[in-house]
A and B are shown apart, each in its own frame.
Chain A
Amino acid sequence: MTDPILKISNLTKRFGGNTAVSGINLEVQPRETIAIIGPNGAGKTTFYNMVSGRMNPTEGKIELEGQDITGLPPHKISRMGVSRSFQINNIFPEMTVQENVEVAVTAFHGHSRKLFNFASRNRAVQDEARELLGKLQILELADRRAEVISYGDKRLLEIAVVLATRPHLVLLDEPTAGMTPDETKRTTSLIRQLADTGDYTFLITEHDMDVVFGLADRILVMHRGENLFVGTPDEVKAHPEVRRAYLGEEEEEEASA
């Protein structure tokens, strides 16, 4: 085994008396795709919030490529090569689709400190943004205002923005949530292609089991903040407790809530 890109030790987050994430341990290898599943409220988003710097852990340690990043602010963690999407669309609504990506490209290259250039004449930034829109198959929407494109396209746009900072580790929070079945299929195959380039390590939370089994090398099953099981898709499918906890044999209503 090579050195892990991400090493999580005993990660815990409590909100008052409520333990949202409880003693999670996980090692993620470079270029791996890991799915994180678990019913609503299992603590998946909170887990991301800690890894991406949005929240401080109550306990535990997060190491990225051997460096301790526990408690660093989001911009520093982003600079170190971690980028994330959000469960609820998080884009720049009044900008065009292309400008949304240009913001992230501009930030990544440090052009954001330039006060006396014309942003609209920066061809290199624009080309890079358009290339990403092409990869996500939304190039034809480049000049539309981001707030008017369809819900599913907004989610793809957010992935383009996420990739624009050239991350090594990408956290996607329910990328297909709320998408139509067609959109879900398209998104899954796009993520598959991105994973196959070998440029990224993905963590993906997801409710749709077809998506999970189609993408993941390994699956982390969370339940009430705890690590219930980590294994390959086949191991997860065979695990009785996982079936009971998540795969819809008992807590149907929780999973769909």
Chain B
Amino acid sequence: MKQNILIGVMLVAIALLIALPWYAPFFYIFIFTEILILGLFAVSFNLIFGYTGMLSFGHAAYFGMGAYTTAMLLLHQDWPFVYTLFAAMALSGLLALVIGFLCVRLSEVYFAMLTLAFGMMVFTIAHSWRDVTNGSDGIAGFRIKEFGLGLDLTIGNPTVYYHVTLVVVGIAAVILYIISRSSFGMILKAIRQNPERVSFCGLNIRTYRLASFTIGGIFAGLAGALIAPFLRVASPELMHWSMSAEPVLMSILGGTGYFLGPFVGAAMFVLLETWITSFTESWMLFLGIVLALMVMFFRKGVLGTFLDWWMNKND
């Protein structure tokens, strides 16, 4: 029964998202495009954090890598947009594979610090390698000439881009959801709860940690590839360590224990930021208070706390 209600709510939410341009003010098309992209970024992070139990503090490196890949391929090669998405996933995944290989042998705070360190290095490279990355200005002035797949879409139109983002993020979310529910996903959850027991069941936990880290990097890269045309620039800020903090905050805000938690967190993050900065400068103070309350009283995040309460409630 409750399962069916949840599925019903999901279907309504999807319908509302699809129909958004027809009932919401134009401004909200931008807001929701951003929510979808950052939501995917946060969900890709949560595969590593919430499922596998590794606090990566350099996830923006893969996000930024995706953004630069798409921006450069559009600027220099005129690739169809869809192909740049795959290229972004491949290169971000490769970067995550290399960095992850060095990081997954460490655990807990050492893992977090090493991912942070690599994140800073990648940021610095993007910032200083002017010949390739155009330094702090980033890659701008690119245009999507062709969408790909034989589709003729005017992607410069924000409404069209919103729908493209919705479809791409939707497909990515379904893939990540299936992975999270697979046998592999079950092993990731087991590793978070008790890595030692998993290795005594005959699995090399480093391999699984690395696989999780790389998959997270691939989908962070996809999110980054979507944000470049949205912002019309791929700049080093996308790789800054403060950008790595965002999926951490979003996941904690929404809840790490449910697949859609980070999406809810991303929505709260972006909407609250938009509303609060419109009447006060102290958005960070407000965010700090909310986060402190979540960590102190609602560890499971907004979605997790609500669903746990509602599922246990007697009809």
Tell me the A residues contacting B by CB distance below 8 Å.
52, 73-75, 78-79, 83-84, 90-95, 99, 102-104, 106-108, 111-120, 122, 125, 161, 164-165
Q: Is the CB of B181 within 8 A of A95?
A: no
Q: Is the CB of A78 within 8 A of B200?
A: yes
Does B184 touch A at the CB level, under 8 Å?
Answer: yes
Q: Is the CB of A73 within 8 A of B183?
A: no
Q: Which of B81-89, B94-102, B118-126, B189-197 contacts A (4 or more CB under 8 A)?
A: B189-197
Between B178, B193, B194, B197, the greatest number of chain A beta carbons within 10 A of the residue's beta carbon is seen for: B197
Q: Is the CB of B184 within 8 A of A90?
A: no
Choose among B178, B183, B202 the residue that contacts A79 (Cβ–Cβ < 8 A).
B202
Does B154 touch A at the CB level, under 8 Å?
Answer: no
* Nearest residue, chain A, Cβ from B188: A112
Measured in the bound complex, the distance between the Cα atoms of B190 and A91 in whole Å is 9
Inter-chain contacts of A118 with B (CB < 8 A): 178, 181-182
Q: Is the CB of A115 within 8 A of B182?
A: yes
Q: Which 3 A-B pairs have the closest CB atoms?
A: A78-B202, A107-B201, A111-B183
Does B185 touch A at the CB level, under 8 Å?
Answer: yes
Inter-chain contacts of B202 with A (CB < 8 A): 75, 78-79, 107-108, 165
Does B186 touch A at the CB level, under 8 Å?
Answer: yes
Inter-chain contacts of A75 with B (CB < 8 A): 199-205
Measured in the bound complex, the distance between the Cα atoms of B184 and A41 in whole Å is 39
* 12 residue pairs bridging A and B, Cβ less than 8 Å apart: A75-B202, A93-B193, A94-B193, A95-B189, A99-B186, A103-B187, A107-B187, A112-B208, A115-B178, A116-B178, A117-B183, A165-B202
Measured in the bound complex, the distance between the Cα atoms of B226 and A83 in whole Å is 47
Interface size, chain B (Cβ < 8 Å): 24
Measured in the bound complex, the distance between the Cα atoms of B198 and A164 in whole Å is 12
Does B179 touch A at the CB level, under 8 Å?
Answer: yes
Q: Known contacts A73-B204, A83-B200, A107-B198; can you find 13 more A-B pairs with CB under 8 A?
A: A52-B200, A75-B199, A75-B201, A92-B193, A112-B187, A112-B203, A113-B183, A114-B183, A115-B184, A118-B181, A119-B186, A120-B181, A165-B201
Tell me the B residues contacting A by CB distance below 8 Å.
178-179, 181-187, 189-190, 193-194, 196-205, 208
Q: Is the CB of B183 within 8 A of A119?
A: yes
Inter-chain contacts of A95 with B (CB < 8 A): 189-190, 193
Measured in the bound complex, the distance between the Cα atoms of B181 and A82 in whole Å is 29
Inter-chain contacts of B183 with A (CB < 8 A): 106, 111-114, 117, 119, 122, 125
Measured in the bound complex, the distance between the Cα atoms of B199 and A90 in whole Å is 12
Q: How far apart are B156's CB and chain A's nearest CB, in angstroms? A: 35
Inter-chain contacts of B196 with A (CB < 8 A): 74, 90
Measured in the bound complex, the distance between the Cα atoms of B191 and A92 in whole Å is 9
Q: Is the CB of A116 within 8 A of B182?
A: yes
Q: Is the CB of B203 within 8 A of A102?
A: no
Inter-chain contacts of B184 with A (CB < 8 A): 112-115
Measured in the bound complex, the distance between the Cα atoms of B193 and A92 in whole Å is 6
* Nearest residue, chain A, Cβ from B184: A115
Q: Is the CB of A102 within 8 A of B178?
A: no
Q: How far apart are B51's CB and chain A's nearest CB, in angstroms? A: 12
